[in-house]
A and B are shown apart, each in its own frame.
Chain A
Amino acid sequence: MAGRKKQTKPGDAPKKTPASSAQQPAPPTPQPASPAPQAASPAAEPAAPAGALGVPQRGTREAKTYTSKPVPIDFAGPEHRYVRSDLEIYGIYHGGPSYEGRIFLNNPKADQTTARTRENGYAGSFYIFGHGGCLGDPGHCEVNEENRDEYDFRSPHPLTPAKKKVTVTNTLREIAKTNKTATITVVPVVTATNELCDDVDVFRFENMRFVSYNA
């Protein structure tokens, strides 16, 4: 089947242990009180059964941020004919909550309250549309792609880790004027979560890289 043969090419995300500690969501965590979502209130609807899953809500807890070690950025210096740089992030877990991943360069103290300005090193955001936890029997959300052979033509598991790309050209160019390295900080802001999701250890990934393009 086209596009499904086993092969390795440059750019393919290698399978690695996620950078964060846990691969599977943590046990269900009690959610703090949140503003009530907007809901219409049609009359006479039967009550939900015991243990039914609630409506997803915005996160109310501070999710863990990630900061890289300093990365060389000499490719972005003014002496290069540099027109675009993307931060590519591979192997992102998306089985849990939805969130915005705010990227700050050379600002390891950035958090959810940090203004998204170039002065603060803000370089852009990516957005994860999360599955919202596992609504299946045990094993339903386990990704075992590495166990499949070349004759397994079924679709990939829906939770095969994601790739995201954020164009960070302008902020990187500015930082490269005075720095040889940059740290990358990702601040997750949870936009939708529920009782099944770990809304603190949100951003889990395998690796990331800068890819730059010259004119």
Chain B
Amino acid sequence: MANPLRIRLGVHNLSDAQIAAFRSSYQQMMGIADNRGYQYLAGLHGVPSWYCWHHQQNAHSAQQLQLFLPWHRAYLYNWEMAMRDRVPDVTLPWWDWTLRPPRQSGVPQIFSVAEVNGQPNPLTGFRINLPSTRPPLVHRTARQPGPPNELPAQSDVDDALARTDWNDFTEALEDIHDNVHGWVSGDMGVVGTAAFDPIFWSHHAMIDRLWWLWQARNGNGNISTDLLDEVLAPFNFRVRDVLSVNDLGYDYAAAQSVVPIAGGAS
């Protein structure tokens, strides 16, 4: 029997046990210095590897390479797999920055509270240790968030989701994404260091979720067939491989409640 799809939940709906599992996965990854660890994987985005796709333009062609969404879906898939190597049942939660008080105000508390049970909260930041870059990049990540009412609103999301043309949609969603990076500011505010901030991954899970919601309405829309065979380096995917999150083994939901089955049920 196939395993059920992994469910990525909203940060605001996590149970205490799910938050603990989420924190534990990051804590363990932060302790690994090789290519299974936090620094290596976060370093694929900006410094030092610079694989990420943003501001898609192609100087060779009028056909722009709109790889922002597919590339980050592949990236998050690999990230979540690395999380699950540490904590088998954990999934990557999404940060819904459209929520307003009293449900949420700015950076969710699970990412901002300094200590949990007397221990440093691994979701507040990560110490980047790249002494060989020029200049050296060795510091603990920090944030300088803006006013909560400056985060994108549901109306911004609705406007993006209403766009039926693929290029129009992905450009609108990327602009919302860019806004949130700048809103968090600090290391999250620039491409080079953004992925070292633990909130990066939940921000991008929200973006990935919104693409999936758009796909539920529009399928793959008028995405260029030229795009489908583009390789999403350094990952083992082409664009066509990441079009369905279900094919990647996960789905998005607001909440999940597993029904216990008693042994020996008739």
A interface with B by C-beta (< 8 Å) = 2-13, 15, 34-35, 37-43, 45, 48-49, 51-58, 92, 94, 97-100, 125-133, 135-137, 143, 145-146, 148, 150, 155-156, 158, 160-165, 191-196
Chain B residues near A130: list those with CB within 8 A.
190-191
Could you say which of B114, B168, B182 has the most chain A C-beta atoms within 10 Å of its C-beta?
B182
Chain B residues near A13: list those with CB within 8 A.
57
27 contacts across the A-B interface (CB closer than 8 A): A3-B63, A3-B65, A3-B227, A9-B63, A13-B57, A37-B186, A39-B186, A40-B125, A41-B114, A49-B136, A51-B135, A51-B136, A52-B131, A52-B136, A53-B133, A56-B190, A98-B182, A129-B177, A129-B178, A132-B46, A145-B60, A148-B59, A161-B57, A163-B57, A191-B181, A191-B189, A193-B190
Q: Which of A99, A131, A135 contacts B134 (CB 8 A)?
A: A135
Output the least CB separation between B119 and chain A (Å): 10
Asked if A48 and B142 sit within 8 Å, CB to CB, the answer is no
B interface with A by C-beta (< 8 Å) = 46-48, 50, 52, 54-55, 57-65, 112, 114, 120-121, 124-125, 127, 131, 133-146, 168, 171-172, 175-179, 181-183, 185-194, 224-227, 229-230, 233
Given A8-B62, A53-B135, A135-B137, decide whether A39 and B142 contact each other with a Cβ distance below 8 A.
yes
Number of A-B contacts (CB under 8 A): 213
Asked if A55 and B190 sit within 8 Å, CB to CB, the answer is no
CB-nearest residue of chain A to B190: A132
Output the least CB separation between B212 and chain A (Å): 21
Chain B residues near A9: list those with CB within 8 A.
61-63
A94–B46 alpha-carbon span in the complex (Å): 14
A4–B63 alpha-carbon span in the complex (Å): 8
Q: Which of B54, B60, B63, B65 contacts A129 (CB 8 A)?
A: B54
Given A6-B60, A10-B62, decide whether A191 and B183 contact each other with a Cβ distance below 8 A.
yes
Chain B residues near A148: list those with CB within 8 A.
59-60
Asked if B175 and A164 sit within 8 Å, CB to CB, the answer is yes
CB-nearest residue of chain A to B63: A3
Main secondary structure of the interface of A (DSSP, over half): loop
A108–B189 alpha-carbon span in the complex (Å): 28
Chain A residues near B58: list those with CB within 8 A.
3-4, 156, 160
Q: Which of B59, B60, B193 contacts A132 (CB 8 A)?
A: B193
Given A49-B131, A155-B233, decide whether A38 and B112 contact each other with a Cβ distance below 8 A.
yes
Output the least CB separation between B170 and chain A (Å): 11
Asked if A156 and B59 sit within 8 Å, CB to CB, the answer is yes
Q: Which of B64, B168, B176, B187 contacts A163 (CB 8 A)?
A: B64
Chain B residues near A34: list those with CB within 8 A.
144
Output the least CB separation between A207 and chain B (Å): 13
Q: Which of B61, B171, B179 contacts A6 (CB 8 A)?
A: B61
A140–B236 alpha-carbon span in the complex (Å): 26
Asked if A136 and B134 sit within 8 Å, CB to CB, the answer is yes
Asked if A135 and B190 sit within 8 Å, CB to CB, the answer is no
A35–B143 alpha-carbon span in the complex (Å): 11
Chain B residues near A35: list those with CB within 8 A.
144
A56–B188 alpha-carbon span in the complex (Å): 8
Q: Which of A51, A56, A127 contacts B179 (CB 8 A)?
A: A127
Output the least CB separation between A193 and chain B (Å): 8
